[in-house]
Amino acid sequence: MWGLLISILMAVLIGTIGDALVKSSMPGGLLGSMIAGFAGGWLGSILFGSWGPIIGGFAVIPAIIGTALFVFLLGMLSQALRKSA
């Protein structure tokens, strides 16, 4: 129970930090930040491995970098879809 709660809180925190690093913003408020945090944690661990402090199952530094990359790519995709419509 505590592990799940810590993982969700870390996902929100990592999603918020990653969103702050990128100009385009993640829609959805806390839920969007949580989704971006989980996706960024997954992406960061694939691209950069598992180094640095690990809290709640997240390697914090790769997860933040992965989240910033995820939000950046999502913003670019959103802009491309808006231009084509």
User: Could you give the C-alpha distances from 9 to 27, 29, 45, 54, 63, in angstroms and in order?
Assistant: 18, 14, 18, 14, 13
Looking at residue 85, its pLDDT comes to: 67
Looking at residue 57, its pLDDT comes to: 83
* 4-62 tens-digit pLDDT: 888 888 899 998 888 888 877 777 778 888 898 899 999 999 999 888 898 888 888 99
* Radius of gyration of the CA atoms of the chain, in A: 13
Q: Give me the phi and psi of 72, to 5 degrees please.
A: -60, -50
